[in-house]
Amino acid sequence: MAAGNSVQLDDKELEDVRALTREVDAKLRRIHEITMNHVRGEKGKYRPKQARFIFDNIRVVIEDESGCGVYEDPPGVCRPCRPGE
């Protein structure tokens, strides 16, 4: 595919990608809830605005209206974001 060109997914691929997207969305929202609960020390009332997933040594960086938190595994911790994350 040449850079800048769009490709329409066929019906089966589109159905698969939309189903996967719904699953990922729900799971990232749950990770946001758990992470920010630990980072803030209370249940959050904010919706996630952005999430970044880093493969291998897993890091899920979640941002919402009140800040940024990270789930990192290993070691399996929730923590505030570091500068530049």
pLDDT at 5: 86
Check: CB of residue 54 under 8 Å from CB of residue 61: yes
pLDDT at 2: 58
CA distance readout (Å), 3 to 7, 10, 18, 31: 11, 20, 23, 33
Q: What is the pTM of this model?
A: 0.84
- Domain parsing of the chain, residue ranges: 11-80
**Residue recorded with tokens 């897993």:** 58
Using left for φ > 0, alpha for ψ between -120 and 50, and beta otherwise, residue 67 falls in left
Give 12-61 pLDDT, tens digit per residue: 999 999 999 999 999 999 999 999 999 998 887 899 999 999 999 999 99
pLDDT at 24: 96
